[in-house]
């Protein structure tokens, strides 16, 4: 027995030395000791040290690639208990002979089950941590990775080769089908995921031995969060866990959409609250308004069981008793508070509410009365904005740990009117649910006495349901007065459509009074001006401006011709003659109200004394035709501004008396100065006049780094340029280039830090746009002053100033997705944003990729691809568990995309983090230089199971087929992952080698793409040779054959005798 024990130990030591990353299965003998281990270890060490690293094995692999129980770096341990008994060499040899004869016996065909209890204990610990306590409940994230350690003890009962011990594995741990070796005792272990069993198969006779097997697994539950894991074995253990997922702690389930709330609010869905807790519902206040409430049902409180995903189990609903299980400490409009004195952490609690909220009165509100149409003013009143997230009425559920806006209601609208057409309106009396008490009145009145006709009422209750207004109000119309008198209390929204009044050749003025704003108060809802079928509206506000705009400009109340056409009384053959001076051109509007189009329905034609507008299509709509003018370049001296003029207009149409009137160009838009500024732009030569010499000088602040673009925005280059709109960036898609016609001569004076733009002789209009050279940073505003001679100021220099500022932009975005085939692989895609070749360049960036989370993931360096830049622009550098992409002597001028795979060692949650750094980004905030992906949960247990891969190393070696020690350099390959289809190109170095520090295991296709001219390679490498990379270190040798140059062969004579041997080199010399 002594020597037999020794042979086991020797085997384990040899395995430990040669296969440094084998499975975590450990054997410990407990009977006899060994004494010869020191000398043996020395000899083995000498043997190991004398083994050369090259030439490499022709195929991949070492024994380390056998199935294992872990995916991390592992070591195999073997130890024995010390003893004073020493074995003599002769005894050792005798026992070894016996062992040899025993081990050479054939194993039985049928594996015999072992019924003895060999498992001493099974323990659980977090990865890299100590064993979980059995007296505490451990709150852990679902799929938290754990280490399961199985301690086995074999007594003095001998078990024959082929004997199998099987143990049932506990629930709530994740398993994959996996197998490995128990080092030192000639046994294998295997996990069957389907049956959830662990089996040990002894391949030789064994007794008086102990060993352990470690598996990496993960905690898991599908529904029940409180789980107990009871371990098998002689010494049973029980671990208690409270598993959780990241879920929203508060949710709202709406039963009915209402003005208020009708639903159930669920608290503690994440099971974190315990003890004395107060559950609240808060309602935001509206300044200046008084709201009322009506509880259609008293608030109720329920408790529920809840699953791991925060889903309540409806069948477990329990109605709690007020005063016993909880206290309703507040039930006001602004706050409902429920105090639960003994909250069960494992339960969710709900507040069931059915409450209507309505407006009672308003002492402060917003009143808006403005010109919304050329001849119509519109009025409205609304409540003040709240402090809610959308300035609305928010309902917020709150606990001691968190709060959430569960619903919001727009309740600011009070009363307003909508214009349907002249004399026809849509009136909203109550835009939000409003209380009206018995006897209160709502009054609509036409203050000019026109009769109110055909009002069509609609009313809605708290549930947005239609109700009959007559059930709540007595409705009376007396001439120009409409009165609604409440016959019962109500909470309603009230509208009137198609409210119609005849003008009777006077303006329509309509007012409204309601109980909400108080007695004896009325607001003006509409003032609709009476106009003739054809008339000029706002005749004193005709607009003049430089540019080539085709509409009335940025302001209302400009001059128009009003045409009151209809299908019943169309206006036919309308003609408008405008006698304007030659320094103005009449704006030719391209389209009027979408109904009428220039060149199809009407024309605008210059005449000798002005312009004429002619309609060939009958006008069957009420329309407004803009009457505005553009300055004609060079039509006035440069020192003379556009004057104010009175311009005659004659309007005529079939069947109507011609109307002669005038308009006055009192509305003059925009400065006429030669140099103007707005935002970060200078405008040069606004009027588009001709200059014999034109130059602009701009002074840059000391130390500022700026860029500029120049744009030609002359009338013949752009459409519809206008004084109020020129700075909107509409023309930035076509900057001028130095060889563009009219591009200025630009000089820089270092002494004054000034740029001079010499346009020379020109008749063009320009924009100079200044930008900060580094647009990534939010720097203090730069002010740049420009000067130019102003003809309208006696050619004295005028100045203008622009401001240059940056809004820091995002630079990174990233997404991550699980691989559909490989359970422990994810793919991350990182994309840069906003990079361009102007102000958002990035010089020599370093981009760091880092896996995060609980899965101990690493990046497959072989999988990293960078799209959008040449491969020689960057290098890859491995970090602790990630990688850096380092650019050298390269500036990014467009966005790039990075893709890579991560390989996880254990189950759990994984996300990735990407950071970018560059001298260009020194002043960018750290938060903007970093992006993380949303976490993904991976569920798998370790092992060589289907769908699990590992990170390995691989070295490719190219050599002469006739001499493995003769390395061949500069052989190029393409390596294709057969699962992810990632393709990597590489070339061997001067030593004939290329190494991968981190590459996924699995099936690949290796293809030779280029070999030195004097060598050839087997056809299978040219078409693609299938290879398999396994765990650990892979060594692959690719032999090449030296080619013979037959074109240079020389021959010589020789004599060959019968029986002699012959070699080609005796007659052929190259």
Q: Can you say how many angstroms the Cα of residue 353 is from the centroid of all Cα atoms in its chain?
A: 36
Q: From CA 626, how far away is CA 538, in angstroms rounded?
A: 11
pLDDT one-digit tens code per residue, 297-308: 999 999 999 999
pLDDT at residue 104 greater than cutoff 90: no
**Dihedral sign, CA of 466, 468, 471, 475?**
positive
pLDDT at residue 87 greater than cutoff 90: no
pLDDT at residue 519 greater than cutoff 70: yes
pLDDT confidence of residue 184: 78
Task: Report yes or no on 396 lying in a domain.
Answer: no
Exposure string (b/e) for 16-40, b if CB count within 10 Å is 16 or more? bebbebbbbbbbbbeebbbbbeeee
pLDDT at residue 198 greater than cutoff 90: yes
**Confidence class of residue 1067 from pLDDT cuts 50, 70 and 90?**
low
Among candidate residues 45, 58, 32, the one with its CA nearest the CA of residue 207: 32
Mean pLDDT of 562-579: 96
pLDDT one-digit tens code per residue, 731-741: 999 999 999 99
Q: Which of 95-99, 294-298, 611-615, 775-779 has the lowest mean pLDDT?
A: 95-99
Task: Report yes or no on 945 lying in a domain.
Answer: no
> Do 934 and 958 fall within a single domain?
no
pLDDT at residue 867 greater than cutoff 80: yes
Among candidate residues 660, 676, 589, the one with its CA nearest the CA of residue 625: 589
pLDDT confidence of residue 1: 36
**Confidence class of residue 78 from pLDDT cuts 50, 70 and 90?**
very low
Which two structure tokens, joined as six digits, stand for 892?
């990014």
pLDDT confidence of residue 12: 32
pLDDT confidence of residue 404: 97
Structural domain harbouring 845 = 812-938
Mean pLDDT of 826-848: 96
> Do 955 and 891 fall within a single domain?
no
Q: From CA 328, how far away is CA 322, in angstroms rounded?
A: 7
pLDDT confidence of residue 147: 94
Which two structure tokens, joined as six digits, stand for 222?
């599908």
pLDDT at residue 53 greater than cutoff 50: no
Among candidate residues 260, 514, 507, 522, the one with its CA nearest the CA of residue 407: 260
Greatest mean pLDDT among 80-89, 669-678, 1043-1052 lies in 669-678
Pick the last residue of a domain from 803, 834, 852. Answer: 803
Task: Report yes or no on 325 lying in a domain.
Answer: yes
pLDDT at residue 95 greater than cutoff 50: no
pLDDT at residue 496 greater than cutoff 60: yes
Task: For the chain, give the percent of residues with pLDDT over 90.
Answer: 75
> Do 753 and 861 fall within a single domain?
no
Q: Can you spell out the DSSP letters for 692-732?
A: EEEEEEEEPPTT--EEEEEEE--TTTSSS--TTTTTSSTTT
Whether residue 247 contacts residue 145, with contact meaning beta carbons closer than 8 Å, is answered with no
pLDDT one-digit tens code per residue, 248-266: 999 999 999 999 999 999 9
Domains held by the chain: number: 7
pLDDT one-digit tens code per residue, 1002-1052: 899 999 999 999 999 999 999 999 999 998 999 999 999 998 765 555 666
Q: From CA 675, how far away is CA 685, in angstroms rounded?
A: 6
Task: Report yes or no on 367 lying in a domain.
Answer: no
pLDDT confidence of residue 26: 42
Q: Mean pLDDT over all residues of the chain?
A: 87
Task: Report yes or no on 823 lying in a domain.
Answer: yes
We report the CATH number of the domain holding residue 794 as 2.60.40.1290
Which two structure tokens, joined as six digits, stand for 420?
């349907």
Q: From CA 26, how far away is CA 12, in angstroms rounded?
A: 9
Residue with the two structure tokens 């209302």: 556
Task: Report yes or no on 1050 lying in a domain.
Answer: no
Among candidate residues 87, 64, 80, the one with its CA nearest the CA of residue 27: 80
Among candidate residues 635, 665, 631, the one with its CA nearest the CA of residue 648: 665
1067, exposed or middle or buried, with CB in 10 Å at 0-12, 13-18, 19+?
A: middle
**Confidence class of residue 97 from pLDDT cuts 50, 70 and 90?**
very low
Q: Can you spell out the DSSP letters for 650-678?
A: EEEETTEEEEEEEEE--EE-S---SEEEE
> Do 298 and 186 fall within a single domain?
no
Task: Report yes or no on 633 lying in a domain.
Answer: yes
CA distances from 464 to 356, 416, 493 (A): 12, 19, 9
pLDDT at residue 643 greater than cutoff 70: yes
> Do 711 and 778 fall within a single domain?
yes
Among candidate residues 452, 378, 651, 664, the one with its CA nearest the CA of residue 532: 651
Which two structure tokens, joined as six digits, stand for 242?
């409270």
We report the CATH number of the domain holding residue 829 as 2.60.40.740
Instruction: Count other C-beta atoms under 10 Å from residue 164's C-beta.
Output: 17
pLDDT at residue 1054 greater than cutoff 70: no
> Do 892 and 1006 fall within a single domain?
no
> Do 11 and 91 fall within a single domain?
yes
- Spell out the residues 6+ positions from residue 47 whose beta carbon is closer than 8 angstroms to its own: none
Q: Which of 19-28, 745-754, 942-951, 1001-1010 has the lowest mean pLDDT?
A: 19-28
Pick the last residue of a domain from 668, 687, 713. Answer: 668
Task: Report yes or no on 1064 lying in a domain.
Answer: no
pLDDT confidence of residue 684: 99
Among candidate residues 915, 922, 918, 927, the one with its CA nearest the CA of residue 777: 922
Q: Which of 86-95, 513-522, 802-811, 861-870 has the lowest mean pLDDT?
A: 86-95
Mean pLDDT of 158-163: 89
Whether residue 460 contacts residue 501, with contact meaning beta carbons closer than 8 Å, is answered with no
pLDDT confidence of residue 180: 87
SS3 label, residue 146 = strand
- Spell out the residues 6+ positions from residue 547 whose beta carbon is closer than 8 angstroms to its own: 630, 631, 670, 715, 720, 721, 722, 723, 726
Residue 259, φ and ψ in degrees, nearest 5? -80, 90
> Do 21 and 164 fall within a single domain?
yes
Global pTM reads 0.68
> Do 655 and 794 fall within a single domain?
no
pLDDT one-digit tens code per residue, 314-356: 999 999 999 999 999 999 999 999 999 999 999 999 999 999 9
Mean pLDDT of 389-416: 95
> Do 122 and 193 fall within a single domain?
yes
> Do 643 and 688 fall within a single domain?
no
Q: Can you say how many angstroms the Cα of residue 574 is from the centroid of all Cα atoms in its chain?
A: 57
Partners of 994 in the β-ladder: 956
> Do 136 and 118 fall within a single domain?
yes
Residue 809 exposure: Cα atoms within 13 Å on the Cβ side? 16
We report the CATH number of the domain holding residue 604 as 2.60.40
- Spell out the residues 6+ positions from residue 1011 whose beta carbon is closer than 8 angstroms to its own: 968, 971, 972, 1017, 1040
pLDDT confidence of residue 1044: 74
Q: From CA 872, how far away is CA 861, in angstroms rounded?
A: 16
pLDDT confidence of residue 728: 94
pLDDT confidence of residue 103: 41
Whether residue 391 contacts residue 408, with contact meaning beta carbons closer than 8 Å, is answered with no
Q: Which of 136-140, 276-280, 747-751, 941-945 has the lowest mean pLDDT?
A: 941-945
Residue with the two structure tokens 């099987």: 166
Q: Greater confidence, 894 or 1?
A: 894
CA distances from 374 to 68, 255, 498, 526, 1051 (A): 83, 47, 21, 13, 108
Pick the last residue of a domain from 217, 243, 269. Answer: 243
Among candidate residues 399, 307, 400, 318, the one with its CA nearest the CA of residue 346: 307
Residue 631, φ and ψ in degrees, nearest 5? -70, 140
């Amino acid at each position: 027995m002594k020597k037999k024990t020794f042979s086991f130990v020797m085997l384990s030591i040899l395995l430990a030395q040669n296969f440094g990353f084998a499975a975590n299965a450990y054997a410990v003998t407990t009977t006899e000791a060994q004494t010869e281990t020191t000398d043996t270890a020395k000899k083995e060490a000498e043997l190991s040290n004398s083994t050369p690293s090259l030439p490499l094995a022709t195929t991949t692999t070492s024994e380390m690639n056998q199935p294992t129980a872990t995916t991390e770096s592992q070591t195999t341990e073997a130890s024995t208990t010390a003893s004073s008994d020493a074995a003599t060499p002769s005894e050792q040899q005798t026992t070894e002979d016996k062992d040899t004869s025993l081990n050479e016996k054939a194993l039985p065909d049928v594996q015999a089950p072992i019924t003895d209890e060999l498992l001493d204990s099974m323990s659980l610990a977090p990865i890299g941590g100590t064993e979980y306590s059995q007296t505490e409940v451990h709150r852990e994230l679902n799929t938290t990775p754990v280490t399961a350690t199985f301690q086995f003890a074999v007594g003095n009962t001998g078990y024959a080769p082929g004997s199998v011990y099987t143990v049932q594995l506990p629930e709530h741990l994740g398993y994959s089908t996996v197998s490995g070796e128990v080092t030192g005792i000639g046994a294998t272990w295997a996990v069957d995921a389907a049956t959830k069993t662990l089996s040990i198969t002894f391949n030789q006779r064994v007794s008086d031995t102990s060993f352990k097997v470690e598996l990496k697994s993960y905690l898991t539950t599908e529904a029940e969060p409180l789980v107990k894991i009871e371990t098998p074995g002689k010494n049973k253990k029980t671990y208690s866990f409270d598993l959780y997922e990241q879920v929203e702690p508060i949710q709202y389930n709406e039963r009915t959409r209402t003005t208020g709330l009708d639903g159930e609010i669920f608290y503690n869905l994440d099971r974190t609250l315990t003890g004395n807790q107060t559950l609240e519902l808060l309602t935001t206040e509206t300044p200046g308004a008084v709201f009322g409430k009506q509880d259609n049902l008293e608030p109720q409180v329920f408790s529920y069981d809840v699953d791991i995903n925060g889903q309540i189990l409806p069948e477990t609903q329990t109605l709690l008793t007020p005063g016993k299980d909880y206290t309703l400490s507040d039930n006001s409009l602004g706050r409902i508070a429920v105090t639960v004195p003994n909250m069960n952490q494992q339960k969710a609690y709900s507040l069931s509410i059915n409450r209507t909220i309505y407006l009672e009165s308003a002492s402060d509100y917003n009143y808006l009365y403005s010109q919304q149409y050329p001849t119509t003013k519109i009025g409205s009143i609304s409540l003040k904005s709240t402090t809610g997230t959308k300035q609305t009425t928010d309902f917020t559920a709150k606990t001691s740990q968190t709060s959430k806006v569960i619903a919001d209601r727009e309740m600011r609208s009070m009363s307003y009117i909508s214009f349907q057409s002249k004399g026809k309106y849509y009136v909203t009396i109550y835009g939000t649910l409003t209380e009206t008490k018995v006897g209160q009145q709502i009054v609509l009145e036409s203050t000019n006495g026109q009769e109110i006709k055909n009002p069509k009422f609609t009313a809605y209750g708290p549930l947005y349901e239609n109700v009959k207004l007559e059930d709540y109000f007595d409705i009376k119309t007396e001439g120009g007065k409409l009165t609604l008198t409440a016959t019962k209390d109500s909470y309603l929204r009230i509208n009137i459509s198609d409210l119609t009044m005849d003008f009777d050749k006077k303006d329509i003025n309509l007012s409204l009074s309601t109980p909400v704003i108080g007695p004896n108060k009325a607001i003006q809802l509409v003032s609709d001006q009476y106009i003739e079928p054809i008339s000029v509206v706002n005749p004193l506000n005709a607009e003049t401006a430089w540019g080539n705009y085709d509409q009335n400009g940025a302001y209302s109340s400009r001059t128009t011709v009003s045409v009151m056409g209809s299908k019943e009384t169309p206006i036919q053959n309308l003609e408008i003659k405008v006698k304007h001076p030659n320094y103005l051109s009449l704006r030719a509007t391209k389209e009027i109200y979408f109904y009428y189009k220039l060149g199809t329905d009407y024309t605008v034609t210059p005449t000798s004394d002005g312009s004429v507008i002619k309609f060939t299509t009958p006008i069957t709509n009420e329309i407004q035709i803009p009457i505005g003018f553009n300055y004609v370049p060079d039509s006035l001296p440069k020192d003379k501004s556009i004057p104010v003029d009175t311009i005659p207009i004659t309007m005529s149409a079939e069947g109507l008396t011609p109307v002669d009137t005038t308009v006055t160009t009192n509305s003059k838009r925009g400065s006429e100065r030669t140099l103007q500024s707005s935002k970060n732009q200078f405008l040069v030569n606004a009027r588009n006049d001709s200059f014999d010499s034109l130059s602009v000088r701009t002074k840059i602040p000391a130390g500022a780094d700026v860029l500029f673009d120049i744009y030609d925005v002359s009338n013949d280059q752009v459409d519809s340029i206008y004084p109020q709109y020129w700075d909107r960036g509409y023309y930035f898609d076509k900057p001028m280039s130095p060889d563009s016609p009219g591009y200025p001569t630009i000089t820089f004076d270092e002494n004054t830090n000034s740029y001079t733009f010499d346009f020379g002789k020109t008749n063009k209009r320009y924009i100079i746009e200044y930008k900060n050279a580094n647009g990534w940073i939010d720097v203090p505003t730069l002010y740049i002053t420009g000067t130019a001679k102003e003809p309208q100021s006696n050619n004295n220099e005028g100045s203008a100033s622009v401001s240059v500022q940056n809004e820091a932009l995002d630079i990174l975005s990233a997404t991550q997705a699980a691989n559909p085939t490989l359970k422990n692989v994810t793919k991350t895609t990182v994309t840069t944003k906003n990079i361009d070749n102007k102000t958002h360049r990035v010089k020599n960036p370093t981009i760091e990729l880092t896996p995060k989370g609980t899965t101990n993931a690493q990046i497959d360096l072989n999988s990293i691809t960078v799209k959008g830049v040449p491969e020689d622009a960057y290098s890859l550098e491995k970090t602790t568990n990630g990688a850096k992409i380092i650019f050298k002597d390269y500036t990014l001028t467009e966005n790039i995309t990075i893709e890579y795979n991560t390989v996880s060692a254990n189950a759990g949650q994984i996300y990735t983090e990407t950071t970018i750094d560059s001298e260009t980004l020194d002043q960018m905030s750290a938060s903007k230089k970093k992006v993380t992906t949303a976490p993904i949960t991976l569920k798998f247990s370790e092992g060589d199971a289907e769908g699990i891969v590992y990170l390995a190393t691989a070295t490719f070696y190219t050599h002469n087929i006739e001499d493995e020690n003769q390395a061949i350099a500069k052989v190029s390959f393409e390596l294709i992952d057969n699962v992810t289809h990632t393709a990597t190109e590489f070339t061997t170095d001067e030593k004939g080698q290329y190494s991968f520090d981190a590459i996924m295991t699995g099936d690949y296709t290796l293809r030779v793409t280029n070999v030195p001219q004097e060598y050839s390679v087997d056809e299978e490498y040219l078409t693609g040779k299938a290879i398999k990379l396994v765990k650990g270190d892979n060594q692959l040798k690719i032999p090449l054959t030296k080619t013979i140059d037959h074109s240079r062969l020389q021959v010589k004579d020789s004599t060959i005798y019968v029986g002699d041997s012959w070699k080609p080199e005796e007659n052929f010399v190259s």
